[in-house]
Structure 1
Amino acid sequence: MRLTGLSQGYGHRPVIDELSLTISPGVTGLLGPNGAGKTTLLRTLSTVTPPQVGSLELFDEEIKTEAAARRVRRRIGYLPQEFGYYPNFSVAEFVRYCAWLREVPEGQAEAATDHAIASVGLGGRARDKMKSLSGGMLRRVGIAAAIVGNPSLVLLDEPTIGLDPAQRLDFRELIRSLARDGIAVLLSTHLVEDIGAACDEVLVLHGGQIRYRGAPKGLSEIGAESAPGDSPLERGYMTVLTSTTGVRGSAC
């Protein structure tokens, strides 16, 4: 998956500015302050928002037309910060519907739905109505909808909002298991500890550009002693945000 020279914005305000990026299988964490362009980047990779400038290549196909976007969407799982659902759908009906949208073969859809729901710890709630679920449970259903049918690319925007500590631990193991299956996961979050625990690589997006790319350990090591933060990883992140020296870590 590759972005080349991507620029995106709203009106005359640039959000992403000539960004180039390659994403490989494994778990990549995406950090950045509010307004850094994280959601815009995920919407672009999911083909929801076409590039204003630059190119997007997914699964060896450059996405130039809506027909091309439809083809690759079959292989993309996307959980936005807010997702819509029919309140009277059961959990199983909603996830099965998402499997249908992704064109999971009919003969595989039921088993894929059951597996995705079980993976997020909601096997016992499959018949519950969506409108009866707590915020944390809804978030877990959204994760199930994103992973149903084993997509090749999974994009998660703040997936652990509303999850309790035990559920967050389960979530980390889930995305590690996706990586072991050769899936590329891009995880956007404000929770730095989730990045350190679950990700192979971390990107820090600030001012429309990648300011750091590398291992979480490397981000911890560049943290200034005087930087704010309660952990080396947080101090490394804050150091990158305040740095004026350009990209830190490995090349993008």
Structure 2
Amino acid sequence: MRRFDSVRFEDVSYRYGRRHTALDHVSFRLGLGMTVLLGPNGAGKSTLIGILSTLLTPGSGTVSYGRIVNPKASAMETVRSSIGYLPQNFEAIEWSSVRRNVEYAAWAHAVPGRSCAQAAETAMRDMGLTSQADTRARELSGGMRQRLGLACAIAHRPSLLILDEPTVGIDPMQRMQVREMIHRYARRSMVIMSTHMVEELHGSASHVLVLNEGGLVFDGDLASFAAIGNTGATIDRIDREEGLRESELESSYIALMHSPAQKQESQ
């Protein structure tokens, strides 16, 4: 499988019809690690995720996956085989086992047939599903079902893992465990997680993107994001045992929601 180690949006715009601009000249770069994409409902997050996952084609601008720019035809298949995508509403094969679901996901992403079983075993182990391997998908709890979705998304070891609101609707303990699994995967791959919850930044994001009304209003690291709020926090002033206080992050987010969208220089 051909891999890529960066993704770049350059001046990307997207419109629904003539009047509604969902993305307006958005530019950024993704690299190794965890990127959290923040923004309220209607900010353009779903459209950005749709373009990033190749489900939508940008109206203008360029999207580059490594050296592949605005992929088409055979290049599109190459890119898609290196992307893992977990939508907000994950649909499993309900009557089939966890193992079979993950094996099928590996096969669907071009893992050779003889290697699908091992790929599934590795993904299930990474997501803490080994003991549930023979359980039917329809019998899983909400948290375990989300782990199944993650296992299916990483079974082919993608270069880029795209997650759309992956912790919505599960209890706090499961949410914490799912976050930790995502963070582990981000140590060796690119991960972008779309969310409207500021709390998802805690202990996770090396890179933060904030969208509002179709425009990118922030592109930077977590310390820079925290410094926008009234506290003026910087990484040197943060107690590393406590981490960033949620009030600091919320203040920064609120301040950005009241600032005009502007083009930001990609990192």
TM-score, scaled relative to structure 2 = 0.85
Is 2:35 the partner of 1:32? no
Q: CA contact under 8 A between 2:95 and 2:138: conserved in structure 1?
A: yes
Q: What does residue 257 of structure 2 align with?
A: 241
Q: Give the Å deviation of 1:190.
A: 2.1
Looking at structure 1, the residues matched to 266 and 81 of structure 2 have their Cα atoms a distance apart, in angstroms, of 30
Question: 1:127 aligned to 2:143?
Answer: no
Report the Cα offset of residue 5 of structure 1.
Answer: 1.8
Is this contact kept in 2: 1:5–1:20, CA < 8 A? yes
Per-residue deviation at 1:63?
A: 2.8
Contact 1:92-1:113 at 8 Å conserved across structures: yes
Matched, 1:206 2:222: no
Alignment partner of 1:190 is 2:206: no
Q: Describe how 1:221-232 pairs up with structure 2 within 5 A.
A: 221-224=227-230, 231-232=247-248
Change in 2 beyond 3 A, CA 1:35/1:79? same
Aligned partners of 2:213 and 2:261 also within 8 Å:
no
Superposed structure 1 runs of 4+ greater than 6 Å apart: none
Q: CA deviation at 1:231?
A: 1.3
**Is 2:36 aligned against 1:20?**
no
Report the aligned-residue RMSD: 2.0
Quote the residue 2:242 is aligned against: none
In structure 2, how many angstroms separate the alpha carbons of the residues matched to 1:245 and 1:85? Answer: 38
1:71-90 to 2 correspondences below 5 Å: 71-90=78-97
Percent of aligned positions with the same letter in both sequences? 38
Shift of 1:97: 0.8
Report the CA distance shift for 1:22/1:154 in structure 2 as closer, same or farther (over 3 A): same
Q: What corresponds to 1:3 in structure 2?
A: 9
Letter in 2 for 1:81: Q
Q: Which residue of structure 2 lines up, in the alignment, with residue 160 of structure 1?
A: 167
CA distance in 2, matches of 1:159, 1:139: 7
Q: Give the CA deviation at 1:54.
A: 1.7
1:59 aligns to 2:66 (yes or no): yes
In structure 2, what residue type is equivalent to 1:6?
V
Number of positions where the alignment pairs a residue of Structure 1 with one of Structure 2: 247
Q: Which runs of 5+ in 2 are unaligned?
A: 1-6, 232-244
* Equivalent-residue separation in structure 2 for 1:145 and 1:64 (angstroms): 24
Instruction: Give distance in 2, aligned partners of 1:169 and 1:142.
Output: 16
Residues 55-64 or 140-149, more deviating: 55-64
Code of the aligned partner of 2:212: H
Which amino acid in structure 2 is aligned with residue 234 of structure 1? Answer: E
Q: CA deviation at 1:187?
A: 0.8
Instruction: Write the distance in 2 (CA, Å) between the matches of 1:109 and 1:195.
Output: 34
Kindly indicate whether the alpha-carbon contact (under 8 Å) linking 1:104 and 1:149 is maintained by their aligned counterparts in 2: yes
1:208 Cα deviation from its structure 2 partner? 1.1
Which residue does 2:3 correspond to in 1? Answer: none
* Distance (Å, rounded) in 2 between the aligned partners of 1:96 and 1:75: 16
Which residue of structure 1 lines up, in the alignment, with residue 149 of structure 2? 142
Q: 1:169 and 2:185 equivalent?
A: no
Cα deviation, residue 207, structure 1: 1.5
CA distance in 2, matches of 1:9, 1:127: 45
8 Å contact kept, 1:59–1:72: no
Question: C-alpha offsets along residues 100-148 of structure 1, whole Å, 9 cap, x if unaligned?
Answer: 1111233332122112122222221111112222333222211111111
Give the AA of the match of 1:216: L
Counterpart AA for 2:210: V
Deviates more, 1:161-170 or 1:202-211: 161-170
| 2:215 maps to amino acid | Q
The Cα shift of 1:251 comes to 4.3
- Looking at structure 2, the residues matched to 130 and 11 of structure 1 have their Cα atoms a distance apart, in angstroms, of 39
State the match for 2:49 in structure 1: 42
Q: In the alignment, which residue of structure 1 is the partner of 2:121? A: 114
